[in-house]
Structure formats: structure tokens, C-alpha cells
Structure 1
Amino acid sequence: MEPVNEAAIAWEETAHGETGFRRKKLAAAAAAQGADGDGAGPDLGCSLYELPPGKRSWPYHYHTGNAEAFYVLSGTGQLRAGEGEHPLEPGDYVACPAGPDGAHRVVNDGDDELRYLAFSTMRDPDVTVYPDSGKVGVFAGAPPGGEGERDVSGYYERDSDVPYWDDDC
């Protein structure tokens, strides 16, 4: 087990509409160095995020199988959680349980970059629910934010449904 310094990890950038951030997958880098002992990946995810002014993180969502938490390092913003908005500032810690009570989205409504750590359990499989758009994401083979190839991965309309039995069975 060796320390991983964030300065040695490349930024991954995501930009789509109002969503835009940079992320360094700290736990994945540690696992790549064998920190978990078997090379299969950590049981706890951790990423460093930088969210520019006026941008939002992932769409408002919750995970059915994974909890998440955030620790604000610098900057200010808003956390949309449940039915409310909550200010974020350096030193704030937020825990988002798995399930509807853990629905969240981080927004940088400040003038400076919002920098925070995001932690998550790394359970596989997982279903991510997006209440605003009526979608679900289904992931199996690698947890959300995890490394590796997935057996199943896709986004679907939450209300779409097909019968269990069809004429071909």
C-alpha cells in the first residue's frame, strides 16, 4: 500500500450543457498501485472534483445500491437534496444514503471554483434513478464511477415496461 498524490493523476473532464467538471479518480489510482491487495478495485470510491462557476455536477439522481458523501475543500455552492437547497462552503460534509432519500446534485452558484471530495461505496450492480428526467441507469460488471468493462450499461425511460412473458418463451 502506497500513498497516491493527486498531482500525479490526470484530470478527466466532463462537459454537457449546464454540467461541467473535472475529476481525478483517487481511489482508482490507489487500486492501480495494488492498495486493495487484489487489483480488483477499491470497495470505497473517492474522487476529487473541480466544478467551475455556473456549472452543475451530475444530473439530480440517487443510487439504489450505493451511498455517496461529499466534503467541500474550497469555494461555495448549493446542494439540491430532496425537496430543498442547502448552501455549501469549505468544511461541509454531506452524506447521501442509497435510495430516494439520498437524491442530490451539486451546483456551483459562486464566483470561484468549487472543489470537493466525493466518496462512494462501490457496489455492483447498481441502478441510478433520475427523478427530473424520468430515467434510470442500469450498471453491472463495474460499479458507477468504477474501472473495468461492464456487462450491462444503459439508460432507460423509467416508465417503459415490457411484459415478463412474451410469445417467444
Structure 2
Amino acid sequence: MNKNEATLAERLIRNFKEIPLQDERRDPLYQSQAARLGTGTAARKLGASVDIVAPGKRSCPYHFHHTQEEMFVVIEGQGSLRVAGELLPIKTGDVIFIPPGPEYPHQIINTSEAPLKYLSISTRETPEVCEYPDSGKYQAMVTINGARAFTAVQRTDVSLDYWDGEP
């Protein structure tokens, strides 16, 4: 491969079997491994990762995005999609579409005895606000040039006056 081809390949191609998995755990409910595929690529509007959820665990807290749209492709295993207050069965081959907004809070749960592996694809809208209905909190995030420039996690029931702290 010549230098130009190598540069293009590095910016445009990822093999999810070669990206190191990051452990994400919060006992007792959450345990998964994730390979972040879009990091360091030329992608500007799409993010992707491969996620593996341990048996009986959840991938992340129940949440919804105000601007980002998500898609999940179940590669291996089975479990449940908790969405809009319901539990829907999911299995290998299923493709799940989650638009932004409060109508579709969601969470993937591995209800089986084997690992649940899926591809996550999302838009990289910024700024973004993500809400967590179970815990009554939200996270505001701003990303600039692929790097997180601002993050705040707060409770929705704690609010300051617009003029608080101003002279």
C-alpha cells in the first residue's frame, strides 16, 4: 500500500474486530464492552461502535436524545429493547431505528444467558441534550472538531434563575 492509500485507509476504514474494546461497568445493572469505530476517522456526522452486553446486564441508562438519531443492528444474541415504557424482544438480524425526541426513550437489555452484540450508529449532532427519565437528570454536550468541549450533567428539577450569579 502506498502512502496515499495508507492515509486514506486510516481515515476511512475501521475493522471492528481490530479496535480495542473498552469496558464499561456500573454494578449491579450495567456491563458492556464497546469498540468506538468513528473516533479518529474522517466521519463528521456519523458515529459508530460495536457494543457487547453481558448476560443479564444493560448497555446504558434508559434515555432519549433531543437531536441525535440512532440505529442499532443486532449482530449476535438476543435481548430486549426497552422503549417508550414497553419491552420488545430483539434478536440477531434485527435493525432498530430510534428517532430523536421524548417519544422514544430507550435502553438495550440482555435478557439472555449469552452475550448480546450489536452495531450502534448515530448522528453526531452538536450541541446535544440527552434526558434520563428513570433518574430525572439530563446531560448537555457540545463537541467541536471531534473533541468534547462542554459537558454538564444536572437534575431536571434543579434550576437556576437566568440572572443567578450575574452582577
Is contact 1:23–1:48 with CA below 8 Å preserved after alignment? yes
Match of 2:89 among 57, 71, 87: 87
1:28 aligns with 2:30: no
How well do the aligned residues superpose, as a CA RMSD in angstroms?
1.7
Which one of the candidate residues 97, 104, 113 is aligned to 1:111? 113
Q: Which runs of 5+ in 1 are unaligned?
A: none
Whole-Å separation in 2 of the counterparts to 1:165 and 1:27:
39
Secondary structure, in 3 states, of the residue corresponding to 2:39?
helix
Aligned length in residues? 156
**CA apart distance, 1:81:** 0.3
Equivalent in the alignment of 1:125: 127
Identity level (%): 31
1:11 counterpart = 2:33: no
Q: Distance in 2 between matches of 1:167 and 1:10?
A: 44
CA distance in 2, matches of 1:167, 1:62: 31
Q: Normalised by the size of structure 2, how large is the TM-score?
A: 0.87
1:66 aligned partner, one-letter code: Q
Structure 2: which 5+ runs fail to align? 1-7
* TM-score normalised over the length of structure 1: 0.86
Q: What is the identity, as a one-letter code, of the residue corresponding to 2:151? A: S
